[in-house]
Amino acid sequence: MRFLESIDRQAVAELLERDEFFWLDLTDPGVPESNDLKEAFGFHPLALEDMLKRDQRPKLEDYGDYMFLVYYGAGRREGEVTLEEVHAFLSGGYMVTSHRYPCPALTEVRQRLTKQDPRSEQFVVYRVIDGLTDSFFPVLDRVDDEIEGLEDEIFDHSDPRQLQRITKLRRELVELRRVTAPQRDLLARGIDEIVAIPGLEADSRTYFSDVYDHAIRISDQIDSYRDLVAGTRDAYLSVVSNRLNQITKQLTVVATVFLPLSFLVGFFGQNFKWLVVNIDSAAAFWGLGIGSLVLSVGALLIWFRRGSYL
């Protein structure tokens, strides 16, 4: 099987004439490449228009001799979860794929097929779809590790930055869910259509069923992680709330301690004759003045201890 990374009109024409299956992989094709594909393969203008558009919903469209597939893989770029949107023309004599950025999943598939000749044309299509599907697993493993790390950090020491990370994880999972659910449904109804592409050398249908099983696992994992992220957010809010309650309790204890002190100081600070006449010695000062303050604080502390406030 031949691999092409650019549109070589002569090479394409020779491969089509010999009916030799080949894979043409294009990175960020534009209008000139679209025109070349139309002349070389005779693709429908609507299919070529879809190829140039991005952020499409996963889909499989039948154009008679070939099918147009929109499928997603996942990866990481600069620490952020990214979706790798791949457009593919599937036929019995060729496979044309296009993507905006270099796609590690397709590169890995190509390396595997280079080391070992594919057993059939259908097996090549399976490898591409399977490689894109399985690219979600490493991303989800990283998400799982990050959720576990966040849970440990929250109970050790809560920090507002943790809430930002939780929000980021939730947004990433929603973005992944946006494409994985339609892809799962696409595989459920589209496997028979892919297998029945005219001229495509037949192979075991079990391979595509395995891809469908992986798609179900991915969708279930994302739903589970969304629940875990929601639980982590609730745990963070609970810890912050408990911490606030503890701080409020401590401040309340301090305010309560100073309440009788303020009363006593205010009382003895009144300019009544009895207070002025009777508190006229050091003993009276320490007994009535300081003694009453210490006694009130001690009584409050005993009450707090018995009431489990401290």
| Average pLDDT of every residue of the chain | 86
Three-state secondary structure call for residue 96 = strand
Q: Measuring CA to CA, which residue among 62, 49, 154 is closest to residue 98?
A: 49
The 8-class DSSP code of residue 55 comes to S
Q: What is the pLDDT of residue 310?
A: 60
> Which residues touch 193 (CB under 8 Å, ≥6 apart)?
60, 62, 67
Please tell me the distance from the alpha carbon of residue 94 to that of residue 107, in angstroms, as a whole number.
17
Which DSSP category does 24 fall into?
E
d(CA 20, CA 111): 20
Which of 34, 6, 22 has its CA nearest to residue 14? 22
pLDDT tens-digit readout, 191-245? 888 877 877 666 667 788 899 999 999 999 999 999 999 998 888 888 888 777 7
**Is the separation of the CB atoms in 95 and 43 below 8 Å?**
no
| C-alpha span between 212 and 196 (Å, rounded) | 17
- Per-residue pLDDT of 265-291, as tens digits, reads 776 666 666 666 666 677 776 776 677
Cβ pair 4, 37 in contact under 8 A:
no
The three-state (H, E, C) secondary structure of 155-169, written as one string: HHCCCHHHHHHHHHH
